Chains A and B, each alone.
Chain A
Amino acid sequence: MKRHTIFGRGALRALAAIGLAGALLLSGCGGAAQQGQADSGSGKTERQEANELTVGIAQDLDESLDPHYSVAAGTREIMFNVFEGLLKPTPDGQLAPAIAAEAPTVSEDGLTYTFKVRKGVKFHNGQEVTADDVVWSIERCWKPADADAPLVAGLAAVQEVEKVDDETVKITLSAPNNEFLACMTLAILPMDYADQATQPVGTGPYKFVSRVAQDNAVFERFEDYWGEPASIGKVTFKIMEKAESLVLGLQSGALDVVMHLSSTQTSQLSQDEFNIEQDTMKLVQALYLNNAEAPLNDVRVRQALCYAVDKQGVIDLAFDGYGSPLGSSMYPSFSKYFDESLVDYYPHDVAKAKELLKEAGYPDGFDLEITVPSNYQPHVDAATVIAEQLKEAGINATLKKVEWATWLDEVYSGRKFQATVIGLESKDMTARALLERFQSEKSGNFINYSNSEYDELYAQAIASGDDAEQTAIYKQMLQNLTENAANVYIQDLADLVAVRKGLTGLTFYPLYVLDISKLAWEQ
């Protein structure tokens, strides 16, 4: 049978021509793209020549860029380069004077701190920092116009903030407090500047230039910076929600630095092009348990869960062995408080777990629903492994993946959950930031932990004026959390950072921050 050939040869030829033209167009474009990328002669990228940098970040910035009101860890992480306080954290976990000219003088009774304001520090808008700005900024956090409690919990100890003269500020406390200084890293802002939320102005080594929602944020080096100036002139943060896109962006040359990668992702990158640096996330990842909900209100059941979960197994299976196991609400980089002995307080022991469950009246186990925020892959992965491990001990664990907004609403505020896997971080370099939430009446105590001994210890720690004593009490609190199996502690996640070869100076802090002022292209 003859084929119906309606398209004659001519038509087919025309089609072929169109295809060919398309191919030519593409290859023509291709040439242009290649030119745009790397200058093959010197081996340097265009950005390197221009002394610019592009960093890939996985989430957009907060709605408000005002440092006193921004919430997301990812926003604070990069705005660290824009704002400074009287004091500034250093990579080794100390506090160094920044807007303060020197460390403050403290009165004999430990109640009065006197700060000298450094001369010649300028805001990004050109104004010089005065004592008035300092007093205004601290008061804004201490007695905010729109809330009853201070924005920074540690400021509750403050009794008075006063300007002594144009370059001296005196702060008086109601009781001695060792952790007060850590609060003095709060950002100093120009007094009465109204556009902080959209066009933030600080004193840091980089100034904020612009942001485009869901696309990018641009910083530029602040030329009048009081300290050691940054090396790189312009830094663009590109927002890409998909981890795959971040990896592709690194491979294509669009990005130079990406933080918080997983080992699977870094293994896709060429070692000739990238250095992979390893740090920890400074998060306490755990299976957080609702201590008020049966059967988890029974300490034996919670302990059984601790015995049933093999944290090293979770790290090996879901994280390729990268991660530091934890035993309480403290991570190893806070070496002052971290207690190594708590890590193995509950060794993996399924028989013991079953025994405890039997004692508690659950010889056949029970149903446990683990709620996880689906946007955080590491938590979903960990929860998946944990659920499998719990099955061995006869606990029928199921996963419930929810959106972040739902997690905040149902789990965090509503406390309507049995168990959840999440990571909790510390905003400043104090143990208090990690431990205060577990007081019985605290609003952030989403696990409903209620232990009178713990509450008492916390009160003692806050009241203590002696650093060694305070540290000892904090350690007791950590012990208390472990012994009562408040949560099933897992790990502090490994933080893998991909850095393009030729870029030096990546510095880690015991906080969740990226310091771009120390980065530089090799000449």
Chain B
Amino acid sequence: MRDLIIIGGGPAGMSAAVAAYESGIRDILILEREDSLGGILKQCIHNGFGLHKFGEELTGPEYAWKYEEQVKALGIEYQLNTMVLQITKDKLVTASNEEQGIFEVQAKAIILAMGCRERPKGALNIAGTRPAGIYSAGTAQKMVNSKGYLPGKEVVILGSGDIGLIMARRMTLEGAKVKAVCELMPYSGGLARNIQQCLKDFDIPLLLEHTVVKVHGKSRVSGVTIAKVDEHRKPIEGSERYITCDTLLLSVGLIPENELSKGAGIALDPVTGGAVVDENRQTTAEGIFACGNVLHVHDLVDFVSGEAEIAGKSAAAYLMGNLESTRNISIKTDGKIRYTVPEKITGAQDVTMFFRVSNIYRNVNINVYSGENLLFSKKKQRVAPGEMESLLLKKELLENVSELRFELEVQS
């Protein structure tokens, strides 16, 4: 029996562990499937991490190391090369590694911190051949940064998610020619600073409203056919263009990795792909919390750490019997706001609400209603799907409220 088991030793898992420790929990076990702590940050050797959290620009491994040092200094126990195979609602964890085989550990509380994975090519149903040379941006990042091998010399990137943008720059710095980044939507899903620093600074063309319609090449990619798309995101006939390349990288979205959560019967939000949580980051299974990219995909690791601290503190409070969950205020959104995290709140404390919008909007009011009453309003000049928004709801506002509605009012 363990007090707290944390599944995943990336930035979310480590940060949650430290927060739980600092809140008084000593019996903590982190289970990590890879051979060292750090998660995906290990391969993110570019800088730009930590500006919010530490006020300095760090590389991914440096950011992870700051937490790994704390985990080690506090003597928090972790097991590497250990894959969690199953969890139950009653918090029984089944895992596998080389030394212990397949083993079970009962936990009093669990924090889910498994991260996310990249959407693969299959879901896009691109026609053509199936040669070598097609990789998700993260796989290419691992080959280049962790293994020291170059996947190819002439690259087309489909999708302008942040990893795709980062890899456009990375491949360029390694001597490859990035010929185009195609984005299906009229806007990029990546951060504005990445568009500037990774594409514009290197004269890499960003083709908005374009997609790859065909892959060419028998054994290795020899080229792709791209096309412009209409307002329904369907390729426009006659707009096809052939680009010679040996590599196609995909950066077409991230999916929270929630197979374990599903197995435990935890309710998932169909929009985020992560668990439905309250402001304590407690899922629908009592004593099971979630944080980081397994909950919803974040823009910056700094925000992941912040969310993980909430989950760590909440798990500690739960273990000490101090977690209030008296009320249940549900939250609805209007479509222009795609989702909020948390999806429901207890009303017991001030809450920072995180949310994403479905399109680029200018001059907007973000309004929070209870019935017909406007409880809160915030002006923004510009909101975009690629940038997570937040607002603070004061506890006082939530008295006598049973449901909240988030709406985006666009000023004409």
A, B co-complexed:
no
Chain B positions near chain A (C-beta within 8 angstroms)? none
Chain A positions near chain B (C-beta within 8 angstroms)? none
